[in-house]
């Protein structure tokens, strides 16, 4: 295949440095022979701008941009309109591009996955097949529907290239995106985007709802293969009158100055009930939207929200992707989740700075200063938690990619206790742990100097040492602590070097997140998914199995 050349883009907006780099890296990957590649950009950093630029510069055939939900098609076309200068045709249901235009080549088409997987729909592209397929939110691309489309398009044009764009590239079910994509052309972390001043800082608060207990909720896999709370059970608990009122009070408190909030709920019923209770306290302030809300009604509600005529927008499964609302400064996690991808998608709805705040500034310092001086200096994510044996995802998990486990655990503990800026708490935790480790290292040096022994030749005039004993160091952790840490698969050498305080902290953290290897063996023998248990949950289940005559408990576990 000849080298891919870049076309003219006079109508396009000027790209930011990282957007331009993402575009150039994509063309470089294709030109070196890679058939499919990915761009990873956090929500709010302008994925559509990059997609539009790449599509507009493509000169090797038609371009197909795939959207995985029908309701996102028009939104995608409208966004592309502002970038391309024209509105691309949509392939969905009865809508479609004119065949005569397609044969000219160089067309950009927005297509629904449901429609484009139909081989008959692709027949009209035989004379001028797609040269590039762009998959937005490509973490869905391992699904059979996407793979069928790719196979059909590659059948028409074996040289067709594939580009995936996403903010959440990881999947917990080990269904590797490598099945679809050969490489990652460009990647930017959420933390990096904040530090460079492209997104606002994230502050987090936890609200404990004493009225709810999530401990008995089972788990199920979501569409990304990630284990999450069973939706029906979770919604039933959170839709109780006690839970609803317990949630509304802190929501009203954290938005007392009129801050707009996007609220993610456990289900459709929960979304509408929460909006109803909010309106009891503040009439006309809240609306609920779900997948069955009529298109015209949803458009009207969203338009009012963008105009700041609606303060609270409750939703279930609607605004996790493809929803841009820079005015949102409060993201309310009205449901806990164990899914990192889902949490990041929800969190990203509040990270955009206000329009026009950061563009035009040349340095991260200038951009961060502009954000700090704006009407939206940061966003607040409010997490509602209850009693649970499950480890729910937090903003620390979303931002802590470059930090070790111990640092993230300390930062999350601090945020849980008093709230605060998540990146600041991660930095403080890292500095504190570094200092603590240095203090422990110095204790090791002193301990070694104090207890080193030497054999001396007493018949030697100068009593010079002739042999030095090997140095054996213990950091202070007890034998019981070391044994338990080893049972959590911590290497003996590492466990032995911990101080008692360090060992205790690591043990408590491990207990919250997982069960021991011994517990796992027992649970596995009875057919349980050990990933669903922490230490205490495993202990309770094993005790119950023993009380039941060492028989599996029906309806328990994963």
Question: Coil, strand or helix: which one is 263?
Answer: strand
Rounded to two decimals, the pTM is 0.74
Q: Is 497 left (phi over 0), alpha (psi -120 to 50) or beta?
A: alpha
Each residue's pLDDT tens digit, 163-218 = 999 988 664 334 456 667 889 999 999 999 999 999 999 999 998 888 788 888 88
Confidence class for position 436, pLDDT limits 50, 70, 90? confident
Q: Which two tokens stand for residue 240?
A: 């109780």
What's the confidence (pLDDT) of residue 471? 47
Average pLDDT over residues 141-164: 90
Burial of 227 (0-12, 13-18, 19+ CB in 10 A): middle
| Under 8 Å between Cβ of 339 and 393 | yes
- Asked whether the predicted pLDDT for residue 487 surpasses 90, the reply is no
Each residue's pLDDT tens digit, 311-326 = 999 999 888 887 888 9
Average pLDDT over residues 479-483: 84
Query: What own/partner pairs with CB < 8 Å and gap ≥ 24 does 438-447 have?
Result: 440/475, 440/497, 440/499, 440/502, 443/475, 443/476, 443/499, 444/473, 444/475, 444/497, 447/473
Residue 467 vs residues 412, 448, 455, 516: alpha-carbon distances, Å: 49, 16, 5, 43
Average pLDDT for the chain: 83
The residue ranking higher by pLDDT, 441 or 111, is 111
């Amino acid at each position: 295949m000849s080298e891919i050349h870049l076309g003219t883009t006079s109508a396009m907006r000027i790209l930011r440095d990282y957007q331009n780099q993402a575009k150039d890296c994509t063309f470089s990957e294709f030109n070196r022979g890679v058939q499919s590649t990915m761009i990873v950009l956090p929500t709010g950093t302008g994925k559509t701008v990059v997609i539009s630029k790449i599509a507009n510069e493509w000169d090797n055939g038609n371009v197909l941009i795939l959207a995985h939900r029908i309701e996102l098609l028009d939104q995608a076309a409208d966004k592309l309109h502002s970038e391309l200068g024209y509105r691309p045709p949509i392939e969905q249901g009865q809508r479609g591009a004119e065949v005569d235009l397609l044969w000219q080549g160089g067309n950009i088409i927005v297509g629904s996955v449901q429609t484009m997987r139909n081989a008959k729909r692709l027949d009209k592209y035989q004379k001028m097949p797609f040269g590039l397929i762009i998959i937005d939110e490509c973490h869905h691309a391992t699904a059979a529907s996407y793979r069928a489309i790719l196979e059909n398009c590659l059948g028409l044009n074996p040289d067709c290239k594939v580009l995936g764009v996403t903010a959440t590239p990881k999947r917990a079910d080990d269904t590797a995106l490598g099945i679809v994509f050969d490489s990652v052309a460009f990647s930017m972390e959420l933390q990096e985007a904040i530090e460079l001043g492209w997104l606002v800082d994230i502050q987090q608060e936890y609200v404990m709802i004493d009225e709810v207990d999530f401990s008995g909720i089972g788990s199920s896999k979501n569409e990304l293969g990630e284990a999450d709370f069973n939706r029906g059970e979770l919604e039933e608990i959170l839709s109780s009158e006690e839970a609803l009122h317990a949630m509304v009070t802190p929501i009203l408190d954290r938005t007392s100055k009129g801050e707009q909030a996007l609220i993610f709920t456990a289900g459709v019923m929960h979304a509408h009930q929460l909006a109803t209770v909010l309106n009891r306290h503040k009439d006309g302030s809240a609306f609920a939207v779900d997948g069955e809300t009529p298109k015209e009604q949803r458009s009207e509600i969203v338009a009012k929200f963008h105009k700041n005529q609606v303060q609270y927008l409750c939703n279930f499964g609607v605004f996790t992707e493809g929803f841009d609302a820079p005015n949102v400064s409060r993201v309310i996690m009205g449901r806990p989740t164990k899914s990192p991808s889902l949490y990041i998608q929800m969190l990203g709805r509040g990270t955009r700075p206000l329009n026009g705040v950061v563009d035009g500034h040349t340095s991260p310092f200038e951009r961060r200063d502009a954000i700090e001086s704006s009407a939206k200096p940061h966003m607040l994510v409010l997490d509602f938690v209850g009693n649970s044996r499950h480890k729910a995802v937090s903003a620390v998990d979303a931002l802590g990619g470059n930090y070790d486990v111990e640092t993230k655990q300390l930062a999350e503990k601090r945020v849980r206790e008093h709230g605060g800026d998540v990146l600041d708490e991660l930095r403080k935790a890292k500095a504190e742990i570094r200092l603590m480790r240095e203090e422990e290292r110095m204790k090791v040096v002193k301990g070694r100097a104090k207890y080193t022994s030497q054999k001396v030749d007493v018949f030697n005039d100068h009593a010079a040492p002739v042999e030095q004993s090997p140095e054996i160091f213990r950091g202070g952790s007890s034998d019981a602590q070391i044994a338990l840490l080893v049972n959590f698969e911590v290497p003996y050498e590492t466990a032995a070097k911990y101080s008692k305080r360090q060992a205790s902290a690591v043990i408590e953290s491990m207990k919250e997140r997982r069960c021991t290897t011994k517990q796992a063996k027992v649970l596995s023998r009875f057919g349980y998914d050990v990933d669903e248990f922490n230490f205490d949950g495993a202990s309770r289940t094993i005790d119950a199995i023993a009380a039941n005559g060492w028989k599996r408990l029906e309806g328990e576990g994963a």
